[in-house]
Chains A and B, each alone.
Chain A
Amino acid sequence: MESKTVEEKERVVIRFAGDSGDGIQLSGNLFAAETALIGNDLVTLPDFPAEIRAPAGTLAGVSAFQIHFASREILTPGGRPNVLVAMNPAALKANIAELEPGGIVIANEDGFTKGNLGKAHYDESPLEDGSLDSYQLFRVPMTSMTVRATEGIDEISSRDAARSKNFFALGLVSWMYSRPTDSTITWIEKKFESKPPIRDANLAAFRAGFNFGETAELLQVSYSVKAAPAEPGTYRAVNGTTATAFGLIAASVRSGLPLFLASYPITPASEILHELSRQRRFGVRTVQAEDEIAAVNMALGAAFGGHLGITATSGPGMDLKAETIGLAVALELPMLVIDVQRAGPSTGMPTKTEAADLLSAIYGRHGESPLPVVAASTPADCFESALEAARIAVAYRTPVILLSDTFLANSSEPWRLPDVSELPEIDPAFATDADAGKFQPYARDDRGARPWAVPGTPGLAHVIGGLEKEDVTGQISYEPENHARMTELRAAKVAGIADEIGDLVPDDPDGADMLVLGWGSSYGAITGAARRIRRRGGKVACAHMRHLNPLPPNTGELLRSYEKVLIPETNSGQLWRIIRAEFLVDALRYNKVEGLPIFAEELDEVISAHL
């Protein structure tokens, strides 16, 4: 409508919220795809309940999806939303406190029935009682308008039609933020190709929502967010799960090692199993194991057979795999263990993020059993981190733990695709039958790595096991001095990786006195907070670790060169403890264990208080 105005925004945070059966995650992801195609920078944060279908309308069943998009580079999914789309009273109740003052509420009026109000413990409708007066409230009867829009589609009952209301909401918000609709329309057409009535209902709902925004007098303003400046290149949106899977496949192709993944279903790591199970065209072999212990043993067995053996899990699975990971340390075979961390202890909060497995990854096995630990920092970085973890595993003949977390796994961001030819080389360098006759399974190369001799190679038949081995020969040995030497050799091999990983390079344009040190998914929040502070003229440095064991060689020196070091983590201070123990640096810490990532805004306040 010509009478409507378009306002330009630099950045917007929208949260979609509804019942876990409402298709909120789907709407959010499609909105993110539309946003990516505009060229906005974006970060998303899904937040869903562990229950597949909690009772409809209850607070426990609220599912939410937040997207932060901007015409400049952004690094976090945003703190307080500017817009809340609430499909029912429970969704409103669970999220309204975080909406910015004066923010926009788009409520599905039809969802605010007496029954739903009761389930959300509202005595009166918040749409009526004035409690939302400090916000811009838009009441839209989404369900009934969806039903009306789908009238005339054969084989669709009004009950079925009502299920398309998430597409109405998506259409409306797409109009409000001037999103292109093609990608969503194409997606619906493809996804429901075999179910024409559902396809048509979803399309009708989506268009009705868009048209409602355009024509209804209720909404007078729409917004646009221009493309963010970005480096030239080809981009795609990617979440941590997909990036991890792609990194593993790239490692497999680059090394020539067949990819073998064995996993036991566990939230949120199952998605890696799902993603890789589809990739038979890359020769990817997946096994859904009978349990976590079996999964890691299968990966180890495949590694013995000369494959890139991988298992993916989350915290509870890590505990179960510990003994086998120790075996892999003793066998000195390449193996990748991916831990998509989630809130613990025990079952904890399976769908909520936390990065509290660092100490258990580094130390969580009996005996002296060192292994390399690598952590991804952003969804797209999961690709490079997975490749790096695989490279280390193969080069050093060692199990490697790759740490990701729920936030990285589910969150997505634009990814400038790398030049494949510049990805690292991975050379399996198998022992060959040229070594027959003089083969020593525990001889070591310059890196301290032993030969990888796979069954089928004549003349290299050997037996390896969890019993302590004699240096060089690999025969069973209980010799005191040998055990001390082997302990030292295993430790030195892992420590020696530091020589290859390079120094920790701080981002410090202004010569700051304070360094913020991070690892894992706090990268976005730390970098974002630093930028906010610098925009105000403040000085702060930041540095982020991909390698947690061994640490970069200059770590101690770098940290000591700053007056203050602050370590923010979504745990109770695990890297902080290591830094203090290893380097006697009296670092400060900021810890958040709420099942949520750290946000730039909150970290800005924390850092500023120390400056």
Chain B
Amino acid sequence: MSETSISKGNGHPANGDGATVTLTKKDFASEAETRWCPGCGDYAILATVQQFLPEMGIPPEKIVFVAGIGCSGRFAYYMSTYGVHGIHGRAPALATGLAVARPDLSVWVVTGDGDSLSIGGNHLIHALRRNVPINILLFNNQIYGLTKGQYSPTSEEGKVTKSTPFGSQDHPFNPVALSLGADASFVARTVDTDRDHESEVLRAAAAHRGSSFVEIYQNCNVFNDGAFDAVRAKGKEANQIRLVDGEPIRFGVEGERGVVRGANGRLELADVAEVGEDALVVHDADDPTLAYALARLADRPTGPTPLGVIRASDRPTYAEGVGEELATAREGLGDDDIASLLRSGDTWTID
């Protein structure tokens, strides 16, 4: 159990005046009994989030977890922060209302691939477009777990499930590409069981101004076991293209492979020994075209796949500064103001 004491701001107003707050993992764990299936990737994510949150130095009462429906929806109950377990797909909208009304809070959305990419797709893209200051954690397991195993909008074509006995005919979403298409200002990807990498990504997401979108590869060991084995399984670390802003993009056990631009401008994988280190693409999280190319480098998590912060760019958050203006406007409002409002426009008096 880590114990962290920090006194510097992380860019979020919930951190307030920068006062020192000492918190531990247990400050963020509720007493509710966790009820995911044994072996579910959600347990690892929950532990990492609970472990990470003390770092922010924000007291639990200033943090709100908003969840939708699905296995991920239970997440809010296991946190000892404020929380709302909403309806299917609408968590980003509810969180938008909350974050806009209360810019002093740290608002987190926990959602799944069915919740946010199928029934709630509209709210996800619009929250990202607006750059509402919320952190969205998408637990992608490429399956409907809670409804017992139907294919999801991220399941591969040909997926055989209860609802697709002859194989799915749907083309899947690439969540990273979708969020970039929605002009998300922060997009990252991590893996449920990799606590260190996940914490690093959460740290960057929390520090980001505006919406952050984090796709977490999450194993559903009951209905879709091993979906991410090519990236996530022990011994497959070589397939993890870990991005570091400003650094050449290398991967492989010894960093022997890298990402280069091919003759047609597209990104390609290459052996560093063959192309030379100078040929490697340097990651620039502020470059939208590079981010999209990286999203498309691995449309499915079946081989070398970019992980980490794919895009982080600074642009104004939704209605930035308006909250303060409105709060100031409200100061001292009283009956006289109502009376003058009612009298605005033409009036006449009868004695």
Q: Does B335 contact A (CB under 8 A)?
A: yes
Residue of B nearest to A475 (CB): B32
Contact with A along B333-345 (1 / 0, CB 8 A): 1111111011101
Chain A residues lying within 8 Å of B40, measured Cβ to Cβ, are none
B290 at the interface (CB under 8 A from A): no
The answer to whether B123 and A417 have CB atoms under 8 Å apart is no
Q: Are A297 and B122 in contact (CB under 8 A)?
A: no
Residue of B whose beta carbon sits closest to that of A262:
B97
- Interface hits, A270-319 → B, CB 8 Å: 279-285, 287, 289-291, 293-295, 297-307, 309
B341 and A246: CB pair below 8 A? Answer: yes
Cross-chain contact A421 with B335 (CB below 8 angstroms): yes
Distance, CA A54 to CA B256, complexed state (A) = 68
Distance of A235 Cα from B346 Cα, bound (Å): 9
Contact B334 A456 (CB under 8 A): no
CA distance A65 to B81 in the complex (A): 55
Is B87 interfacial (CB 8 A cutoff)? yes
**How many Å from the CB of A30 to the closest CB on chain B?**
11
A294 near B90: Cβ-Cβ < 8 Å: yes
Mask: chain A, 73-85; 1 = CB below 8 Å from B; 0 = not: 0000000000000
Does B348 lie within 8 Å of A464, measured CB to CB?
A: no
Category for how many chain A residues contact B: 35 or more
**A283-B330, A294-B123, A465-B85 are contacts. A233–B101 as well, Cβ < 8 Å?**
no
B5 at the binding interface (Cβ < 8 Å)? no
B80 interface residue (CB < 8 Å to A):
yes
Q: Is the CB–CB distance between A297 and B90 below 8 Å?
A: yes
Question: Does A230 sit within 8 A of B, measured CB to CB?
Answer: yes
A464 touches B326 (CB 8 A): no
Q: Which of A323-331, A518-526, A533-541 contacts B (4 or more CB under 8 A)?
A: A323-331
Could you say which residues of chain A place their CB within 8 Å of the CB of B79?
A: 463
Question: Does B350 lie within 8 Å of A456, measured CB to CB?
Answer: no
Known contacts: A249-B338, A327-B86. The answer to whether A461 contacts B61 by CB under 8 A is: yes
Cα–Cα distance between A475 and B30 once the two chains are bound (Å): 11
Q: Which of B63, B102, B341 contacts A282 (CB 8 A)?
A: B341
B327 within 8 A of A: yes
A611 in the interface, Cβ–Cβ < 8 Å? no
Residue A458 at the chain B interface, CB threshold 8 Å: yes
Question: B101–A327 contact, CB under 8 A?
Answer: no
- Which residues of A sit under 8 angstroms from B90, Cβ to Cβ? 293-294, 297, 324
- A232-B350, A461-B82 as given contacts; A294 in contact with B96, CB under 8 Å: yes
Nearest CB of chain A from residue B325's CB, rounded to whole Å: 7
Structural contact, A235 and B335, CB atoms closer than 8 A: no
User: A293 to B93, Cβ gap below 8 A?
Assistant: yes
Given A253-B337, A290-B122, A298-B100: A36 in contact with B93 (beta carbons within 8 A): no
Q: How far is the CB of B9 from chain A (nearest CB, A)?
A: 18
Q: In the complex the two chains form, is B100's CB within 8 Å of A302's CB?
A: yes
Residues of A within 8 A of B330 (CB): 258, 282-283
CA distance A461 to B99 in the complex (A): 17
A121 interface contact, C-beta 8 A: no
A302→B342 contact, CB < 8 A: no
Shortest Cβ gap from A603 to chain B (Å): 29
Q: How far is the CB of A451 from chain B (nearest CB, A)?
A: 13
Asked if B126 and A290 make an inter-chain contact with CB atoms under 8 angstroms apart, the answer reads yes
Taken residue by residue from 93 to 128, chain B's Cβ proximity to chain A (1 for < 8 Å, 0 otherwise) reads as 111111111101100000000000000001100100
* Contact (Cβ within 8 A) A236 B345: yes
Asked whether any CB of chain B lies closer than 8 Å to the CB of A39, the reply is yes
Q: Are A461 and B350 in contact (CB under 8 A)?
A: no
| B38-57 interface code vs A (CB 8 A; 1 in, 0 out) | 00000000000000000000
Q: How far is the CA of A254 from the CA of B30 in the complex (A)?
A: 37
Residues of B within 8 A of A233 (CB): 349-350
Find chain A residues with CB under 8 A from B145 CB: none
Chain A proximity mask over B299-332: 1 for CB below 8 Å, otherwise 0: 0000000000000000000000011011101100
Binary flags per residue of B243-260, CB closer than 8 Å to A gives 1, else 0: 000000000000000000
For window 52-93 of B, CB contacts with A under 8 Å fall at 59-67, 73, 76-77, 79-87, 90, 93
Instruction: Please give the distance in Å from B73's CB to the nearest CB on chain A.
Output: 8
Q: Is B274 among interface residues, defined by CB-CB distance under 8 A?
A: no
Q: Are B346 and A33 in contact (CB under 8 A)?
A: yes
A294-B126, A305-B101 as given contacts; A282 in contact with B333, CB under 8 Å: yes
Cα(A416)–Cα(B307), bound, Å:
65
* Inter-chain contact A462/B86, CB cutoff 8 Å: no
A283 CB contact (under 8 Å) in B95, B333, B339 = B333
Q: List the B side residues contacting A420 at CB < 8 Å.
A: 335-336, 338-339, 342
Chain A positions within 8 Å of B59 at CB level: 458
Number of interface residues of B (CB under 8 A): 63
- Note all chain A residues with C-beta closer than 8 A to B329: 280-283
CA distance A231 to B348 in the complex (A): 12
Q: A290–B342 Cα gap in the complex (Å)?
A: 31
Q: A260-B101, A458-B61 are in contact. Are A235 and B348 (CB under 8 A)?
A: yes
Say whether, besides A284-B326, A301-B95, A462 and B350 are in contact (CB < 8 Å).
Answer: no
Measured CB to CB, the closest approach of chain B to A307, in angstroms, equals 4
Closest B residue to A436 by beta carbon equals B61
Closest to A309 in B: B97
Instruction: Give CA–CA (A287, B323) in the complex, Å.
Output: 12
The reply to whether the CB of A476 lies closer than 8 angstroms to some CB of chain B is: yes
CB 8 Å contact bits of A452-463 with B (1 = contact, 0 = none): 000111111111
Interfacial chain B residues near A297, Cβ < 8 Å: 86-87, 90, 93-94, 96-97, 123
C-alpha gap A201/B341 in the complex (Å): 32
- Tell whether A294 pairs with B84 under 8 Å between CB atoms, given A246-B342, A283-B327: no
Q: How far is the CB of B69 from chain A (nearest CB, A)?
A: 8
Tell me whether A183 is interfacial, beta carbon within 8 Å.
yes
A249 to chain B, nearest CB (A): 6
CB-based nearest B residue for A33? B346
Among candidates B60, B83, B87, B94, residue contacting A301 with C-beta atoms closer than 8 Å = B94
Decide: A301 near B93, CB < 8 A? Known: A294-B122, A324-B87, A461-B61: yes
Given A304-B84, A463-B30, A236–B62 Cβ distance below 8 Å? no
Closest to B64 in A: A455
| Closest residue on chain A to residue B347 by CB atoms | A236
Distance of B231 from chain A, by nearest CB (Å): 32
Q: Given the complex, which residues of B lie within 8 Å of A234, measured CB to CB?
A: 343, 347-349
B351 interfacial contact with A, CB 8 Å: yes
Cβ-defined contact, B77 with A476, below 8 A: yes
The smallest C-beta distance from A466 to any residue of chain B, in angstroms, reads 6
Residues of chain B within 8 A (CB-CB) of A235 are 347-350
CB pair A466–B85 under 8 Å, yes or no, is yes
User: Distance (Å) between the CB of B263 and the closest chain A CB?
Assistant: 41
Contact A301 B350 (CB under 8 A): no
Contacts of B67 in A (CB 8 A): 465
A559 interfacial contact with B, CB 8 Å: no
The distance in angstroms between the C-alpha atoms of A102 and B81, with both chains bound, is 74
Q: Measured between C-beta atoms, what is the minimum distance from B115 to chain A in Å? A: 13
Query: Is A300 a contact partner of B61 (Cβ separation < 8 A)?
Result: no
| Contacting residue for A456 out of B77, B94, B102, CB 8 A | B102
Since A324-B87, A417-B342, A461-B60 are in contact, a sample of 14 more A-B pairs with Cβ atoms closer than 8 Å, ordered by chain A residue number, is A246-B341, A253-B333, A281-B329, A289-B93, A291-B122, A295-B93, A301-B101, A304-B97, A421-B335, A423-B335, A456-B104, A462-B82, A464-B85, A465-B83
Top 7 nearest A-B pairs by Cβ distance? A465-B85, A301-B97, A298-B97, A463-B83, A283-B330, A297-B93, A301-B98
Measured CB to CB, the residues of A under 8 A from B are 33, 36-37, 39, 183, 230-237, 246, 249-250, 253-254, 258, 260, 262, 279-285, 287, 289-291, 293-295, 297-307, 309, 323-324, 327, 331, 417-418, 420-421, 423, 455-467, 475-476
Instruction: Give 16 pairs: A residue, B residue, CB < 8 Å, sorted on A.
Output: A234-B343, A236-B348, A260-B97, A280-B326, A282-B330, A283-B327, A294-B93, A297-B94, A298-B93, A301-B97, A303-B97, A304-B98, A305-B105, A420-B342, A423-B338, A460-B61
